Amino acid sequence: MKPIKPNNIVWHRATVTRAAREKLNGHRSVILWFTGLSGAGKSTLAHAVEENLHKMGCRTFTFDGDNVRHGLCSDLGFSDEDRVENIRRAGELAKLYLDAGVIALTAFISPFRSDRARVRSLVPYGEFLEIYCRCPLEVCEQRDVKGLYKRARAGEIKEFTGISSPYEEPEGAELVVDTGSQSVEESVAMVIDLLCEYGVIGPDKADNRLQLNWSALAGATA
C-alpha cells in the first residue's frame, strides 16, 4: 500500500519548537521501539519503563500494538502488506510524538527488519532506539496469556508470527533484553541505563528513580 502524496500541501513550521518542548520537559525526546514475538513481554516492559519514567517526571506515551489496531489501524489485517502498513503508520505517529518532545514507547511485534529500518530512517541517529525483547518461542507459547498460540497451532489464526509467519530478529538493536529469563525489574534498569547512555534523561532523574510494585506487573506479557 503506497501512500499518495498530494502536490498541493506545504509543511507548516511551528513557532514552538521541539527543542523548546524538550527544555520545558527537562529531557530529550526519543522513540523506544520494543520488538519481539507475541508473549515476549514487550507491552509489560514498555509500560513498566513508562511508569518509572513518569515517576521521574518525564513526558511519555506508550503505543501498544493491539491498542493501535483498535483504532488507527483497525482497517488492517495480518497479511505481509498490511503488516508493513501497520508499522509505517506507527512509525509516523511515533515521529510526531518525538517532535512533541515526548518519550514515545512502542510495543509492536514488527516482524520485518525492513519495516523497522524504515522507521529508523525517519529520524536522526540516536533518536530511534530498538529494544529486542528476546524470548524463546517455547517460553512464549508456555505463557500464551491471550491463548493465541494455541489457536494458531489449531489453524484458527492464519499468518501468526513465529508459527505460520516469520519473525526476523534484529541485527543491530541498541539493546537486547532476555525477557525469557530476566526479571521485569532487571529489564527496566537496562532500558533506563540505555536512556542515560544516549543522554535522553540526565543522571539527576535517573538517580531519583522510584521502585515500582513489581508484583503487580507479574503475569502480563505481550
Residue type, 48: A
The answer to whether 187 is a known catalytic residue is no
Structure letter (DSSP) for residue 161: B
Catalytic residue among 38, 43, 110, 165: 110
CA distance 200 to 214: 24
Name the 3-class secondary structure at 24. Answer: helix
Neighbours of 88 (CB within 10 A): 18
CA distance 40 to 145: 11
Residue 171 region, left (φ>0) first, then alpha (ψ -120 to 50), else beta?
alpha
Length reported for the chain = 222
CA distance 32 to 112: 17
- Tell me how far CA of residue 3 lies from CA of 44, 94, 211, 216, in angstroms: 32, 18, 44, 42
Residues 6+ apart with CB under 8 A from 23: none
The residues annotated with a catalytic role in the active site are 110
